[in-house]
Amino acid sequence: MMMMMFLHFSLQFLLHPLLHFLFITLITCLALKILKSLTTTTTTTTTTIHRSRVISNYPPGSDGFPLIGETLAFIAAHNSSKGFYDFVRTRHLRYGNCFKTNLFGGTHVFVSSVEVAKALLGSESVDFPKRYIKTVATLLGEESLLCSSHEHHKFLRRQIASLFTLDHLSSSVRMFDELTVETMRVWKEKRCVIVLDYALKITFNAICKMLLSLEDDNEMEALRNDVSEVTEALLAFPLRFPGTRFNRGLKARERIMDTLREKMAMRRNGVECKNDFLEHLLAKDNPDSAESLTDQQISDNILTLIIAGQVTTASAITWMVKYLDENKEVQDKLREMQLEIALKNSDTPLRLETLNDMHYASKIVKESLRMATVVSWFPRVALKDCQLGGFQIRKDWIVNVNARSAHYDSTIYDEPMKFDPSRFDEDPKPYSFLAFGAGGRTCLGMNLAKEMMLVFLHHLVTTCRWEVTDADPSLEKWAMFPRLRSGCPIRVIPIN
Helix (H, G, I), strand (E, B) or coil at 1: coil
Cβ neighbours for 119, distance < 8 A, ≥ 6 positions apart: 125, 388
CA dihedral sign, ordered 461, 463, 469, 475: negative
At 298, which amino acid appears? I
Give the separation between CA 414 and CA 277, rounded to whole angstroms: 42
Contact 179, 185 (CB under 8 A): no
Looking at 327-448, which runs of residues are DSSP E strands? Answer: 377-381, 386-388, 391-393, 398-402
Let me know if 423 is exposed, middle or buried by CB neighbors in 10 A (0-12, 13-18, 19+).
middle
Burial tier of 436 (Cβ tally within 10 Å: 0-12, 13-18, 19+): buried
| SS3 label, residue 259 | helix
Annotated binding site: 443
Cα gap 162→211, rounded to integer Å? 11
| Tally of CB atoms within 10 A around 37 | 9
Backbone phi and psi for residue 484, each to the nearest 5 degrees, phi listed first: -65, 135
Binding residues for heme: 443
CA distances from 330 to 358, 372, 467 (A): 14, 17, 14
- Taken as a whole, the chain contains a residue count of 496
The sign of the CA dihedral 96, 97, 101, 104 is positive
The whole-angstrom separation of Cα 228 and Cα 133 is: 19
Task: Fill in the amino acid letter for 182.
Answer: E
CA–CA separation, 119 vs 388, rounded Å?
A: 9
Name the strands in the sheet holding 98-103, side by side, starting at the edge strand that comes first in the sequence: 98-103, 106-111, 398-402, 377-381
Work out the burial of residue 36: count CB atoms within 10 Å of its CB; fewer than 13 is exposed, 13-18 middle, 19 or more buried: exposed
Determine the Cα–Cα distance for residues 312 and 203; give it in Å rounded to an integer: 9
How does 121-133 read in b/e, with b if 16+ C-beta sit within 10 Å?
Answer: beebbebbbbbbb
With a CB cutoff of 8 Å and minimum separation 6, the contacts of 260 are: 298, 299, 302, 303
